Structure 1
Amino acid sequence: MKPFRARLTFILMALIGISMIGTGFTMAHLFKSSHIAALEENMSREINLLAGTLEFVDMDASNSIPYYTEQAEHIAKLLDSRITFISKSGEVLGDSEKNPLEMDNHANREEEIVAAKEGTGRAIRYSETLDRKMLYVAERVTSDHGFDGYIRVSMGLDAVTEGLNRAWMIMAGGLVILFLAATIVSYKVASSMTSPLEQITRVARRITDLDYDARVHLKRKDEVGQLATAINAMADSLQAQLKTIRDNEDLLQSVLDNMTGGIIMINADEEIALLNRASERMLDVSNSEMAGHSYKELKRHYELTRLLEEGVSSKEPLHEERSIYNPRERIVRMDAVPMIQDGTYRGMLFLLQEVTEIRRLERMRSEFVANVSHELKTPVAAVKGFAETLLGGGVKDEKTARSFLQIIYDENERLNRLIGDILELSKIESKRVQLDCSPVHIIEFFDSVLGTISKVAEKKSISLNVEVPEELFIEADEDKLRQIFMNLLSNAINYTHEGGSVKVYVKNILKPDGSENVQFTVTDTGMGIPKKDLPRIFERFYRVDKARSRSSGGTGLGLSIVKHLVDLHHGVISVKSDLGIGSTFIIELPLLQEEKAD
């Protein structure tokens, strides 16, 4: 803006200078014209005065030339001008500067020609006689004493030029002073005009650089003030619009980032325009790497790429499921819709929804139904078979009949246990079970549990040992805790050979974050669990030794119930086992139960 200020100052100075020079020339011309006009008027009056006072003689007289020459010289001294008497025919009768006899005929002089026509003639020309520029005024004069011609008064313009030069000097000095003053004024005027414009320009540049807090601070009511107000209003509007845009972008980005489903947007040029976080995790790629690239670069996901290609080529809605591996298998449902705006195809939008867990749960549900049907079918078939035998009268021996009835009774008990476990597991999984927590004195708790289960252990000569700190308490649901350890200890006794042992160790442990847990360890000397079966032992109806489980009266749901009840207490359960040596179940539960979101 400073060069603009300099240019504006220069332009103002130039305009002022040109105006002043023009004014000077005009004034000089007017001064010269008015001065010459005044001289002409004065000389004309002098001629009229001479015509009225001079004694004329006959031009044809022999003494006319000496007479008029003498008169011309005398008058010239009085008027400080050159006086010339000229006849009507142009002959010089007398002149104050030169011998008339040596002078040319003046009939063709401009002033005489005009005077002949109008009575008074004026002219300015160079005089070769006097070697300078002269002003001539001639008038036609007629006298009764024989004079009929012209009286001409002339004077040099040196005085006019000298006066004009003095005027020029005075004017030049004044113009210089005025020009300097005008320069200062011009600079201040330019500054007053450009300073607010500079401020407005700076603010406009800051707004261009996305600094929408910039404002013009001018309190003026002229056009510049109106411009500043308009700039501020524009900045306010841009700031408000930008905030709305950013809020919408943040909201949209938050929606995209927090969507559980993946979004892939492919534009009309078949390039990836957008990948949200879910799709990045699902495909193990990043939006920054893939944006602007062809979707075909997702070539390691062959099945997915084929579906994308099918959707892009058909430009029609698409609904399919495919498996992708990254690194484990994932089942992905893809829904594709074309993006049409104002009748123009803008690309395809693909929604990826991982349904692996849904399909796994569906399989589990199907397997559960099949397992329940199978588990229920076995005791029902046994009951039906033995009952039909008894009803058919095929058994006459009372002892055999009683054994058949005992089998029917046992199978009925097993059926009741199975139904009870299924109902219990169903309640736990459906989150309909609420914990009723209270302080539990652990040593008293295990005394009660062992009192219930010790007779079963005694029948197999299995020793039961518990090591629990004397004053250790835990906050838990005592009934659910009892259910956990009854299941674990029952399994340990059932799968331990006669003469073996089952031990329970309890200790308090401090975690790195400062919280406290209680660790329960249940160890047996049973047959152990094969390593291949360890990951699945908490599944419903999963049995390591199916024949032995049924013979022992197990339902196959005990460990699954234990796992769910431990989870309900916000704890963890793990297992270690060596085949033929025994198994160890480790449970960690929080010392205090805190409110946690499910």
Structure 2
Amino acid sequence: MLKFRHRLTLIFIFFIGLSNIAAGIFTISVMRDSQIHALEEGLGEQLEMYLATVDWDYVSENSVGGEMFRREAIRMARKTGARVTFFDEDGVALGDSGGAEAPAGEGLPPEIARAKGGAPGVHIRREPSAEAQTMYVAMPASFGKAGVGYVRFGESMQPLDAETRRIASYLGLGLIVILMVTALIAYRMSLSLTGPIEKMTRVAYQITNMNYRARIAIPNKDEIGQLGHAINKMSESLQYQMNQIQEDESRLKSVLDNMTSGVVMVDREGKIVLLNRSAEEFLGFSSGELLGQRYTLTKTQQELTRMIAECFQRREPLRGEVVFHYPEERMLDIHAVPMTIAEDAYAGILVVMHDITAIRRLERMRSEFVANVSHELKTPIAAVKGFAETLLGGAASDPATTKSFLQIIYDESERLNRLIGDILDLSKIESKRVPLQFSPVEMKTFVERIFHMMATEAKKKGITLEAAVDQDVYIEADEDRLQQILVNLLSNGITYSHDGGRLRVMVDPILEDAARPDEYERVRITVQDYGVGIPKKDLPRIFERFYRVDKARSRVSGGTGLGLSIVKHLVELHKGTIRVESELGMGTRFIIELPVLQ
């Protein structure tokens, strides 16, 4: 009964829809024929009026360079809005307002062929370069002294097509409304009988699709109502259980995604079934690329692939340190552990990856620091010891030699003192044990004072100190530490600049809004020299402790190799940033950005 009623309803809707579609097609067809006929009559009337009023002698007299027909076609096209073409008596195009002429040998256009009989020729077609069809109307014409031929007017049918589509859309909308009303009536007829069962069917499908919030609202107290009540109870129970499962899954996913360690789970068939955000970052693949794929897809990480394969073979925990070179170089501590879900039930491999790059880098830096400190301390101590032994061995009898050796001992002692001072200073700065006394600093006066301090050192090499500092630029900083930053950078610039060169300091406010030059939150300090420059390979390590680009020259100049490292830490204590730009042989630029207020 239910299927038959629904089939009858569908047939009823089908026939109503079919009759409306047929009526709509007939209406559109009649309307379009009428519009085409009107367009044809309009073009014919325009053409006849034009042929009756055109003065070919005047047109011929005003033509330039034999372009009479082309110019006349363009003129008429502007007046009528139609495409105008002139043909000679053989059907060869003499002028076209569209700029295109029919190539010879392709035959007469159909409308010209029909116009040869003396009656207007009409033809509708789509040109290769046009978006819509074009209606052409052609008539025989006498061109005065230029002979006889044909005149053709053409007009695009695109507006007509648009009007047809608009009417068709209205008819379609009306058909949809009629079908909706018909469907509503049919629905209301069957609702009283089939409604409850359909509701239960829909809710059952929604529960199947894991929508456990679906409920059945049936006021009946009969067997159908009891069935609906039982389905509601079942849905409530499933919803509670799924909520618990989703909460547990959400917590687990949140933990995995926020872990700094990478986690990859491989099932017993070798397919990746889980990986967290850190694992994606380590492997250089997204979860969408790896989930469901075999672990051997990570071809760029051969060591990891071999470790998982070995763990599959041995079925015992493995651990190793592996260097990943893609997507960036990292050292990872990897644990591969076989998983079991029950006794003797093998489930696959769990891989946990810890990024120990920073730890190994710190260990290397600590080792290098100890070695560098030992080497740097050993050099002046060995010099002091050697020259002291020489003096004790009898060289003290020569006053000139004694004075020279004592000067060397003094210089090495000073160097040793500077080195120890810089080490202690760097240690305090790195451990944040340096109290900063912030106060407003007027940058123009401050830079002039620094230049005055460095004038003697710059004069020895004939270096010119230049400043470009706007008036009334202030920042809040520890003046002594800011002075230490600029003195270190200027000393480096003087050391590595050519004799007779120049050194430039620029201080500029960083404007967020150019319309408000007095409102700025950061200041940029640039120290530019035009000396030997720094090789590109050394730029990433320029702020490391004891790192020297030119080691021999640095020691001759008395440098400790800690200046730039101290500068970087002092800038960071001021909550600022520092970067370096350099080109070998062209000079170096240190760029510091500091907040105006601390």
TM range, normalised to the smaller chain? 0.5 to 0.7
Cα distance in 2 between the residues matched to 1:204 and 1:298 = 43
Out of 507, 520, 523, the residue aligned to residue 528 of structure 2 is 523
Partner residue in 1 for 2:463? 462
Partner residue in 2 for 1:536? 541
Contact 2:496 2:532 in 1 (8 A): yes
Identity level (%): 57
CA apart distance, 1:522: 1.6
Partner residue in 2 for 1:243? 243
Cα distance in 1 between the residues matched to 2:523 and 2:490 = 18
Question: Secondary structure of the equivalent of 1:321?
Answer: strand
Change (3 A) 1:500 1:205: closer
Partner residue in 1 for 2:495? 494
Question: Secondary structure of the equivalent of 1:320?
Answer: strand
Cα distance in 1 between the residues matched to 2:495 and 2:259 = 48
The TM-score with structure 2 as length reference comes to 0.61
Out of 581, 587, 593, the residue aligned to residue 592 of structure 2 is 587
Paired AA for residue 214 in structure 1: A
Cα distance in 1 between the residues matched to 2:260 and 2:270 = 25
Cα distance in 2 between the residues matched to 1:567 and 1:253 = 36
Paired AA for residue 422 in structure 2: D
Contact 1:521 1:586 in 2 (8 A): yes
Question: Secondary structure of the equivalent of 1:538?
Answer: coil
Paired AA for residue 317 in structure 1: P
CA apart distance, 1:458: 3.3
The TM-score with structure 1 as length reference comes to 0.61
Cα distance in 2 between the residues matched to 1:264 and 1:432 = 42
CA apart distance, 1:516: 4.5
Cα distance in 1 between the residues matched to 2:194 and 2:463 = 104
Change (3 A) 1:234 1:420: farther
Partner residue in 2 for 1:549? 554
Partner residue in 2 for 1:52? none
Deviations 1:99-134 (A, max 9, x none): xxxxxxxxxxxxxxxxxxxxxxxxxxxxxxxxxxxx
Paired AA for residue 495 in structure 2: N
CA apart distance, 1:511: 4.9
Partner residue in 2 for 1:112? none
Segment drifting more, 384-393 vs 501-510: 384-393
Contact 1:273 1:291 in 2 (8 A): yes
Contact 1:500 1:526 in 2 (8 A): yes
Contact 2:284 2:327 in 1 (8 A): no
Partner residue in 1 for 2:310? 310
CA apart distance, 1:222: 7.6
Q: Does 1:268 align with 2:273?
A: no
Segment drifting more, 470-479 vs 549-558: 470-479
Cα distance in 1 between the residues matched to 2:240 and 2:350 = 31
Contact 2:264 2:350 in 1 (8 A): yes
Cα distance in 1 between the residues matched to 2:532 and 2:300 = 46
1:87-98 equivalence runs, <5 A: none
Contact 1:379 1:411 in 2 (8 A): yes
Cα distance in 2 between the residues matched to 1:262 and 1:368 = 31
Gaps of 5+ in 2: 7-190
CA apart distance, 1:515: 6.4
Contact 1:304 1:322 in 2 (8 A): yes
Contact 1:511 1:517 in 2 (8 A): no
Report the aligned-residue RMSD.
3.3
Question: Secondary structure of the equivalent of 1:395?
Answer: helix
Cα distance in 2 between the residues matched to 1:213 and 1:286 = 33
Partner residue in 2 for 1:361? 362
Q: Does 1:560 align with 2:559?
A: no
Contact 1:575 1:584 in 2 (8 A): yes
Cα distance in 2 between the residues matched to 1:313 and 1:457 = 70
Partner residue in 2 for 1:76? none
Cα distance in 2 between the residues matched to 1:392 and 1:221 = 121
CA apart distance, 1:436: 4.6
Paired AA for residue 292 in structure 2: G
Cα distance in 2 between the residues matched to 1:235 and 1:488 = 73
Partner residue in 2 for 1:444? 445
Partner residue in 2 for 1:53? none
Contact 2:335 2:353 in 1 (8 A): yes
Paired AA for residue 548 in structure 2: R
Change (3 A) 1:566 1:205: same
CA apart distance, 1:289: 2.8
Q: Does 1:348 align with 2:349?
A: yes
Partner residue in 1 for 2:321? 321
Contact 2:505 2:527 in 1 (8 A): yes
Cα distance in 1 between the residues matched to 2:568 and 2:202 = 70
Partner residue in 2 for 1:213? 213
CA apart distance, 1:3: 6.8
CA apart distance, 1:574: 3.2
Cα distance in 2 between the residues matched to 1:573 and 1:381 = 36
CA apart distance, 1:409: 2.5
CA apart distance, 1:482: 1.5
Segment drifting more, 328-337 vs 561-570: 561-570
Cα distance in 1 between the residues matched to 2:575 and 2:513 = 17
Contact 2:282 2:327 in 1 (8 A): no
Cα distance in 1 between the residues matched to 2:521 and 2:350 = 50
Change (3 A) 1:334 1:381: same
Deviations 1:489-540 (A, max 9, x none): 1112223344433221212232589964322222234343344433432222
Contact 2:571 2:594 in 1 (8 A): yes
Change (3 A) 1:249 1:387: same
Gaps of 5+ in 1: 7-190, 594-598
Partner residue in 2 for 1:286? 286
Paired AA for residue 450 in structure 1: F
Contact 1:441 1:473 in 2 (8 A): yes
CA apart distance, 1:473: 0.9
Paired AA for residue 310 in structure 1: E
Question: Secondary structure of the equivalent of 2:396?
Answer: coil
Question: Secondary structure of the equivalent of 1:470?
Answer: coil
CA apart distance, 1:434: 6.0
1:28-47 equivalence runs, <5 A: none
Cα distance in 2 between the residues matched to 1:525 and 1:288 = 51
Change (3 A) 1:515 1:280: farther
Paired AA for residue 480 in structure 1: R
CA apart distance, 1:346: 0.8
Contact 1:273 1:292 in 2 (8 A): yes
Contact 2:303 2:322 in 1 (8 A): yes
Cα distance in 2 between the residues matched to 1:284 and 1:500 = 48
Question: Secondary structure of the equivalent of 2:589?
Answer: strand
CA apart distance, 1:320: 0.7
1:95-134 equivalence runs, <5 A: none
Paired AA for residue 355 in structure 2: E
CA apart distance, 1:240: 2.4
Paired AA for residue 259 in structure 2: M
1:128-527 equivalence runs, <5 A: 199-217=199-217, 228-343=228-343, 344-433=345-434, 436-511=437-512, 516-527=521-532
CA apart distance, 1:457: 2.5
Change (3 A) 1:436 1:253: farther
Cα distance in 1 between the residues matched to 2:375 and 2:442 = 41
Change (3 A) 1:221 1:252: same
Paired AA for residue 208 in structure 1: T
Paired AA for residue 296 in structure 2: K
Out of 559, 571, 583, the residue aligned to residue 576 of structure 2 is 571
Change (3 A) 1:277 1:214: same
Paired AA for residue 309 in structure 2: E
